[in-house]
Chains A and B, each alone.
Chain A
């Protein structure tokens, strides 16, 4: 199965700043996903990022707040823009090797906003 590396693993940021999270996969994958896990909650899908097309955002998430890049089949970034304390969460990327196969997750980025 794919091995996923996320950077940074954690960060503490100031209100109003932006942070870009990187997700690197050791193999080419078609579908990459970004999730948010707020404290004490389960995972919520932010968007699906497919190479060569615009990311598809879920209800409640917008591109201006969470711009995503997917320049190739092994890499994606998620930016959390103009951060506020409500953005304090764990952000995780996941990939699917092939349709119908398990999704695999990175270790996540633990983000705290002061």
Chain B
């Protein structure tokens, strides 16, 4: 059974800092891995998807890396802004059961 751990659980930083959010998963047989953000009381917004054959994906100030063999993914946020404040979730897609498994997320607060 896939288990996903996200570290840290919460992070508070001043505006402008570069951030690293970590995700680890126990079953490396994944199809891909997605990073989402969730704003309070809202659904999930897809940020980045990394295929199992890829090492990283970039979108604007966001960069996600994947080391499938070691079961790790990292989300880098450059030059953080208050609008980045949200919960960030990672979710690998199982290679055998084709199911997303979510971590508990990292609650990010960027202070002006």
Contacts and interface: CB of A to CB of B under 8 A. Distances in A.
B55 interface: no
A102 B34 contact: yes
A100 B105 contact: no
Interface string B19-39: 000000000000110101000
A92 B32 CA distance: 21
Contact of B42 (A41, A103, A108): A108
Size bracket, chain B contacts: 20 to 34
Given A42-B89, A101-B49, A106 B43 contact: yes
B34 A103 contact: yes
A107 interface: yes
Interface residues of A, number: 23
Contacts, number: 45
Nearest to A107: B43
A92 B91 CA distance: 15
Dominant SS at the B interface?
strand
Given A100-B31, A100-B51, A41 B104 contact: yes
Contacts of B49: 101-102
A103 B36 CA distance: 10
A45 B42 contact: no
A42 B32 contact: no
21 contacts: A42-B89, A42-B103, A42-B104, A43-B44, A43-B89, A43-B102, A44-B102, A92-B43, A92-B44, A94-B44, A100-B31, A100-B32, A100-B51, A102-B34, A103-B34, A103-B100, A105-B46, A107-B42, A107-B43, A108-B43, A110-B41
